[in-house]
Amino acid sequence: MSRMVSWQDLDPPEPLADLRWEEFRRGRQVDGPPPTAPVAAFVSQTALDAMRDHATSSPGAEVGGILCGQAYRLEGTACVVVDASTAIPALAADGTPVHLQFTAEAWDHVFAERSRAAADLEIVGWYHTHPGLGVFLSRTDRHTQAAFFGQEWNLAVVLDPHSGDIGAFFGPEGVATAFIPYAAIAPAPQTPSPLGPLSTALALGQPASVPAPALEPTRPALGARGIRPGSPLARMLLTAAGLFAAGVVILAIEGRGRTQA
Ligand SMILES: [Zn+2]
């Protein structure tokens, strides 16, 4: 189904809040010095479990969803730390083995769930599966990433439920990157969403001929516990969100009057 959908015009991204590494690290019990890469990605075990459960629930058809969390500017550096703490499955999406379309109903569910469970978080990326095809970003995926997840730190996660492989890609170019898993954190306090209702439809396609980029290995899981309520989970950033293209993708951004086919 490729109906026209509305997509609320979002506020431009706000400047990223500063992050104190020691506080962030302690909250997740992540070891090591501050990251030095341009972008450092952290994905909670809760989000990983949700993505893997979603992926394995559908070994024969693609599924996907959004990643919520926060992005920070590491204090005194140019490094962006992105923390994907929550994954929200798009349960009503319409998937085939090589194609995934997020219907308007799927997005309605995603954003309702986001308002309920992750209202204080931003959309930092998206995820989807490639059953039996491996972990890479297809041409369509790259288009989606560039068009709708254009921030340097926007994260695209791809999972193959057959092999169990998982990979992460960053920025408008969809560059393969490593990420650091950390154990679940305490639920964030509930605050009203600054975004309001969002809805859209999207579709994902999977040209089978796109070669897979080399992937950096992900690091082993690091133990962690809860984040303290007073930790610097400030607010900030962007609001973007998702959507994707496909063999056929139609996406309209209401307010901008942008339509893709
Ligand atoms: Zn894909």
Identity of the highest mean pLDDT range in 73-87, 201-215, 219-233: 73-87
230 pLDDT higher than 90: no
Contact between 129 and 64 under an 8 Å Cβ cutoff? The reply is yes
| Count of other CB atoms within 10 angstroms of residue 121 | 23
Q: Give the angle subtended at the CA of 200 by the CAs of 194 and 206, to the nearest 5°.
A: 125
Lowest mean pLDDT among 80-84, 131-135, 244-248: 244-248
Question: What pLDDT does residue 104 have?
Answer: 78
149 vs 5, more confident: 149
Ligand 1 centroid from CA 29, angstroms? 32
260 pLDDT higher than 60: no
User: What residues have their beta carbon closer than 5 A to ion ligand 1?
Assistant: 138, 141
Per-position DSSP letters for 74-114, written without gaps between them: ETTSS-EEEEEEEEEE-TT-EEETTEEEE-HHHHHHHHHHH
Ligand 1 centroid from CA 244, angstroms? 9
Ligand 1 centroid from CA 27, angstroms? 33
Sign of the alpha-carbon dihedral angle for 26, 28, 30, 35: negative
Ligand 1 centroid from CA 136, angstroms? 7
**What are the sequence ranges of the domains in the chain?**
17-260
Question: For all residues of the chain together, what is the average pLDDT?
Answer: 71
Ligand 1 centroid from CA 130, angstroms? 6
Contact between 96 and 160 under an 8 Å Cβ cutoff? The reply is no
β-pairing, 122-129 with 155-159? parallel
CA 145 to chain centre: 10
Question: What pLDDT does residue 200 have?
Answer: 31
What is the arrangement of strands in the sheet containing 94-96, beginning at the earlier edge strand?
94-96, 99-102, 202-205
Ligand 1 centroid from CA 21, angstroms? 33
Ligand 1 centroid from CA 232, angstroms? 34
Per-position DSSP letters for 171-230, written without gaps between them: TTTTEEE-EEEE---PPPPP---SS------EEEE--TTPPPPP-PPPPPPB---PPPTT
Identity of the highest mean pLDDT range in 13-17, 52-56, 101-105, 117-121: 52-56
Ligand 1 centroid from CA 150, angstroms? 17
Ligand 1 centroid from CA 220, angstroms? 24
Ligand 1 centroid from CA 124, angstroms? 17
Return the closest-CA partner of residue 19 out of 63, 79, 66, 61.
Answer: 79
pLDDT tens for residues 165-180?
999 999 888 999 999 9
Q: Is 132 left (phi over 0), alpha (psi -120 to 50) or beta?
A: left
pLDDT tens for residues 172-222?
889 999 999 998 554 443 444 444 333 333 333 333 333 333 333 333 333
pLDDT tens for residues 131-162?
999 999 999 899 888 888 888 899 999 999 99
User: In the block, which residue shows the tokens 């962030």?
Assistant: 24
Question: What pLDDT does residue 161 have?
Answer: 97
| CATH code of the domain occupying 17-260 | 3.40.140.10
Question: What pLDDT does residue 52 have?
Answer: 97
